[in-house]
Amino acid sequence: MRVRTWHRSIVLLVCLSLVPVALAGKKKEERQAKIDSAATEALNVLFAKNDKAQRLYDKAAGYAVFDNLKLSLFISGGGGSGVAVDRANGSRTYMRMGTAGLNVGLGGQKYQVIFLFQDRETFEDFIDNGWQADAQANAVAGRAGANAATTFENGLAVFQITEAGLMLQADIAGTRYWKSRKLN
């Protein structure tokens, strides 16, 4: 059983390393369209699973959706891309995210993170300065639903939708979000 787990981890690490190569040949507009489509799909899933999220979205000045892949094998790392949308004028800012850290764990997890911004100031600060989160614990097995945030906290509501994945870990990791130079 352990040999299979190691093989799966190696395959996941190889696949993750090939993602930038696969995306390099795509045109900017194709990549933007793919990110926009993934964001719309993630919002639809969130609203179907959490009606309170829909109410927060209706009040939000903007939102951001990121598609992420995280791998863990004593060190954790991952990355993804997403889009931040100003609800007042529909303008889009394409962004990247990255995470790295040390952990006790093994596995892989694909997930979406959705940020809802209560006011324009918080939204613009996210776009201009990014955002950073530290220290987390995960226990993911198979498919899980959206978390149940019900209010804005410090101008922000954050939801995570987990796709197929298996990861058991406790890690100290940093996750950072920033503007994509190639997609804007």
**Which distant-in-sequence residues (6+ apart) come within 8 Å of 21 by Cβ?**
none
CA distance 64 to 82: 7
153 in a structural domain: yes
105 pLDDT more than 50? yes
30 in a structural domain: yes
- Its domain, for residue 61, covers 2-179
93 in a structural domain: yes
- What are the pLDDT digits (tens) for 138-157? 444 344 444 445 678 889 99
**Which distant-in-sequence residues (6+ apart) come within 8 Å of 23 by Cβ?**
31
- What are the pLDDT digits (tens) for 57-91? 999 999 999 998 888 777 778 899 999 999 999 99
Count of the separate structural domains present in the chain? 1
Looking at residue 168, what is its pLDDT? 47
Alpha helices in the chain (DSSP H): 2-24, 28-49, 51-59, 120-129
- What are the pLDDT digits (tens) for 28-53? 999 999 999 999 999 999 999 888 89
184 in a structural domain: no
